[in-house]
Chain A
Amino acid sequence: MTYQKLKSNFLFAFYFVVLIFAFCFLNFKVSAQELSLGISPPLLEIVIKPNKSIMVAYKIDNYADPVIARAKILPFEPLGNQGNIKIAKDFSGPVRFSLDNSDLDLEKPFFMKTRESKQLLLRMRLPEGTPDGDYYYTLLIETEPPPTVDGSTGGRAKGTIGANILITVTGSGMTEISGKIVLFDVISKFKPFGWKIFDSNAKIPVVLNVQNNGKNMIKAEGEIVLNGNFGEKATYQIPAQNILAQSQRLVFATPSAEINQPTSLVLSGFFLGKYKLAASLNIGESLTPLTASTSFVALPFRWIIGLIFALIISLILIKRLSRNEDEDEA
């Protein structure tokens, strides 16, 4: 065999192996997901004067099949007290939104390939004379549903992903901040004479509701401090959470846990005696913190029942063993 033939055979074998290798190992993971979108940043907070304009860049990622999407802006209002929102059907409000992208516009469809990222340059303009106050919007990236399958019955799901925009308009630079703790308590099912009593091992749910009475949103952060009779003390941080104007919110402390009902904090461990809980929330740098306190009593009911049970069993055992001994002696 000549050198040339050897070389060509070797190259053929080499390419063949490379092909098999690529086929076996480089088959990029194909996801079964048909729709998967990401958005960043998910939250935008703006304090702005009227007659000003700003531009913010959003990154939209398509992780799944190609989609036709469109961007739109709708106002929202808070729903309930747990941070949920209700998006309005139609646009309203004084803020003027547009896209600075040359090839994209709001409400106009655009195409996104698999694994494609797009940058949306969102411009917000506050016309002169915009009244002071808060305006809340959601930037929505809405996809087109898949085409209809002829002859069959079914639904077509379309996915929309959103990012919230909180705009505070102030001509003077001053905002109206007015907050109040409307509820700070432990949720107890056993409350004789107003005492909130728990078993020593029970999980103790704590709720902290804050009302914003002002025209502008407030950012509440602080702590809940637990003090026991024997000098024990624990501090639970409340990370910054927005409370929108004229709304109420259940603020979460950390660490938290999930139980059957919405709570700010769940205390767990072994408690004995009377405990005091104090909440302190800062809602503005120069404002007096909001404070509230409550208390509860923890008693080892399970241990007491267990001890009574153990005593009864021990008495029965002693009596039975003593009787057996007496019978043996007799």
Chain B
Amino acid sequence: MTYQKLKSNFLFAFYFVVLIFAFCFLNSVEAINMESSRYRIQFGNIGIGGDNLTSDDIRLTTSLGQLAANRFDSDGYVVKAGFQYIHSIIPFRFSISKTNIDFGSLIPNTPSEVASILSVSFGGAGQYQVTAVEEGPLQTMSGTFIPDTLCNGGKNTCDEVTPKLWDSNRAYGFGYTMDVGGKDIPESFISCYKTSGNKSCYRPFPDRLQPTPETPAIVMSSPNVGRNKQATIKFKVNIGPAQTTGSYQTIINFVATPTY
């Protein structure tokens, strides 16, 4: 082989490898965002009309366009109201799309599901949380009840904290899942979904009426600001053939609070 041919072969191989290398490793596109996942630059407070009013006893700071976030100094107290002086135009708001969770008439060994969408608008520093707790299990006026779910049982036994797979029609009870497509849902639902072959995992609601009231479970939580952050909660019930006929009812209390 001549030197020229060797050189041309080498160059060909070199360019080929560079091309592959560039294709494999230099394919990411970086963009500079003007916002982060937690904060967004926004006009939170238009200062037109804002003023500092002082007297011997009181100092009052006012500003126009500010949503109740303010600071007052007076003899004996200091009050700071608002989202830690990150004046946000996103108020704290919580919505439930369906408050009547009607399973209709239950058929033994046939699971029944009802979905509802939880939405949160949150604009402050820190964090928000939505918790859920049941006021007793699903029960009739006479006290007959449908127990809270244990999911499939065995290695797939769930509790109020840990969701597990519940796809057996022979596993009875009442529980819920958070749809993994939702925003700000607990990580435990996502990890269980992945390990269960992309199947939804369930867990029972904590019971507030237990002799030692159970701690409400966090169903949505995030430090990131945003409008209308939505997550779907699916309530599920499945009864056995021995379950007494009747109208079973309970109350689920969702509590949305911003952080401190």
Binding site for B on A (CB under 8 A): 32-49, 52, 54, 56-59, 61, 63-64, 78-79, 82-87, 89, 136, 138, 140, 142, 145-146, 148-164, 166, 217, 219, 239-242, 244, 252, 254-258, 260, 302-303, 306-307, 310-311, 313-314, 317-318, 321-322, 325-326, 329
Contacts and interface: CB of A to CB of B under 8 A. Distances in A.
Contacts of A241: 84, 125-126
B259 interface: yes
Contacts of B250: 155-156
B86 interface: yes
B259 A156 contact: no
Given A33-B97, A156-B99, A164-B260, A43 B252 contact: no
B96 interface: yes
Residue from A61, A136, A255, A311 whose CB has the most chain B CB atoms within 10 Å: A255
A38 B17 contact: no
Given A41-B81, A306-B24, A318 B10 contact: yes
B207 interface: no
B38 to A, nearest CB: 5
A46 B78 contact: yes
Given A153-B105, A254-B39, A86 B215 contact: yes
A136 B260 CA distance: 9
A89 B215 CA distance: 10
A318 B8 CA distance: 10
B99 A83 contact: no
A163 B258 contact: yes
Contacts of B76: 48-49, 52
Given A35-B95, A84-B221, A41 B257 contact: no
B17 A313 contact: yes
A310 B17 contact: yes
Given A35-B95, A154-B114, A85 B20 contact: no
Contact of B260 (A32, A78, A145, A239): A78
Contacts of B18: 310
Contacts of B237: 153
Contacts of A59: 68
Contact of A317 (B16, B37, B80, B96): B16
Contacts of A313: 16-17, 20
A46 B9 CA distance: 78
B182 to A, nearest CB: 14
Contacts of A39: 91-93
Contacts of B81: 41, 43-45, 56
B31 interface: no
Given A148-B249, A156-B251, A52 B77 contact: yes
A27 B73 CA distance: 47
B129 A85 contact: yes
B253 A160 contact: yes
B249 A156 contact: yes
Contacts of A148: 247, 249
B59 interface: no
A318 B36 CA distance: 48
B116 interface: yes
A300 B240 CA distance: 58
B95 A154 contact: no
Contacts of B223: 82-83, 252, 256
A56 B82 CA distance: 12
Contacts of A242: 84, 126, 260
A38 B101 CA distance: 23
B161 interface: no
28 contacts: A38-B121, A39-B91, A41-B67, A42-B91, A43-B84, A43-B126, A45-B80, A59-B68, A78-B260, A87-B216, A136-B260, A145-B251, A146-B100, A149-B100, A151-B247, A152-B247, A154-B100, A159-B96, A164-B258, A164-B259, A217-B260, A240-B125, A242-B84, A254-B36, A307-B21, A310-B21, A311-B17, A321-B12
Given A33-B96, A255-B37, A303-B25, A49 B259 contact: no
B125 A41 contact: no
B125 A329 contact: no
A244 B68 contact: no
Nearest to A65: B99
A248 to B, nearest CB: 13
A135 B171 CA distance: 45
B77 A49 contact: yes
A155 B251 contact: yes
Contacts of A155: 101, 134, 138, 235, 249-252
Given A155-B251, A156-B250, A306-B21, 19 more contacts: A32-B97, A34-B97, A38-B91, A40-B92, A41-B69, A44-B80, A63-B93, A85-B129, A148-B249, A153-B106, A156-B252, A157-B98, A242-B126, A256-B37, A306-B24, A313-B16, A314-B17, A318-B10, A318-B13
A256 B77 contact: no
B233 to A, nearest CB: 9
Residue from A142, A217, A240 whose CB has the most chain B CB atoms within 10 Å: A240
B92 A163 contact: yes
A310 B99 contact: no
